[in-house]
Structures are given as C-alpha cells and as structure tokens.
Amino acid sequence: MKVFNLLCQGASKSSIAECEALVYEFMDHGSLEEWLHPVIGTEEISDAPKNLTLLQRVDIAIGVACVLDYLHNHCGTPIVHCDLKPSNVLLNNELVGHVSDFGLARVVPQMTSNSSSNQTSSIGIREYGMGSEVSTYGDVYSFGILLLEMLGKRPTDEMFRGGRTFVQMSIPERVTEVADSVLLRVGNDDASISNLPNQYSSRAQKISECFSLIFRIGV
C-alpha cells in the first residue's frame, strides 16, 4: 500500500497518475497458487475444488515462458522479474496466465557477446540467495522451479529434500512418482494412469512422456 500526503503540492495529481499506471485488468480466477494448492475449508473451495488439467497447466506455463522471453529479449533493455512464483501468476476468465507483481523487477544492461554461454541454473541461486548481480538467469531458474511445482509438488515437500536430484533420477521411468496425483487420475475416479487397462496404455504412455519432457525443462 502507498500513502500520499494530500497536503503536499501535486499529491492528488501524482495519486491519479499512479492509479492509471498500476491498475491491472481484473483476473477472475485469482492466482495460480490458489489452483495448485487450494486451502480446504475456505468459502471459495466449498463444494468444487479448483483443479487444472494437464493441458491447462501446459498452456499457462507456455504463457509465462512467453512473458519471460519478451522481458528478457524483446523489450529493449532486458527486465528481470526477480519474483516469479505461482502467487504472482494470475489467471483470467479463460485461464490465461498473466505475470504480475513487478515490485522487485530490475532493468539490467544487455549481456555482452563474450558472456559465457554455458552458465548453469545454479547462477539463479547465487543471484537470489547470496546477493550477486541480477541477470535473466535468475528468472530462468525460477521458471524451472515453477514448472516442477505446476506438475508436481511444492518445492518444500519432503520428497524434494535432496533438491532437484530426486526429480532428475525419476526421469523417465518413474515420473508419475513426482507428478501431481490429481493429474494421474482417470476421469472423476481415483484410478491412476499407472493402473490403466491395456486399451488405455497408449494414453498413459503419452502422458508419461509429456511429464518427462516438462520435468526435463524444469530440471
């Protein structure tokens, strides 16, 4: 929240200008966080829990990737969001993802041509966790974590105590072990794709391949 002292000269005009610049389009479906990790017992989740299909999650992930591509490569001077996470991805009425909250965003100089091309995702950890210089690699690292969370579990889940290694070791044969159980159900029952009858084995294989491809990107 920002407070203006209306006794100061120009405060009213400044307030109106900020409102015009900062007011976002209303997002009917709230944040991605609310869909991935619904809080049971709230009024919003009374009878119909929020669930996103695999296709919807992939579409949202592609939308976020397009936003990052624009910020990093197509808007003149690169912009680093610095706080990419499910609560900062808002969904409109058609469940199209919009990246929000640029309060920590930073404008960074263009990367030089002699910059190292084999940087690893550990750069993202150093930038956000140890105060090193901000670069687009930090957003790329956060996007990878976002992908793992969108199709799997929270990064703080016990399963990931050892870091991304567990996910990496699960590709491709055991991806269903790290995937969100909601995405593994068939229809409205509790049958898992790993227990499908033979006539559905082809579908199960395609779903597993999709998980493997996306988890590889996340890792």
Other beta carbons less than 10 A from residue 83's beta carbon? 18
Containing 204, the helix (H) or strand (E) segment is: helix 201-218
Cα atoms in the Cβ-side hemisphere of radius 13 Å centred on 60: 32
Q: How many helices (H) and strands (E) does the chain have?
A: 7, 4
> Which residues are CB-neighbours of 186 under 8 A, at least 6 positions away?
192, 193, 196, 200
Q: What is the DSSP string of 13-63?
A: HHHHHHHHHHPPPP-TT-BHHHHHS--TTSGGGSSS-----HHHHHHHHHH
Among 83, 139, 180, 190, the one annotated catalytic: 83
Radius of gyration of the CA atoms of the chain, in A: 20
Report CA-CA distances (Å) from 181 to 35, 49, 60, 178. Answer: 14, 14, 19, 8
Residue 199 CB partners (closer than 8 Å, separation 6+): none
- Based on the residue annotation, tell me whether 83 is a catalytic residue of this protein: yes
List of E strands, the chain: 79-80, 89-91, 97-99, 106-107
Among all residues, which ones are annotated catalytic? 83
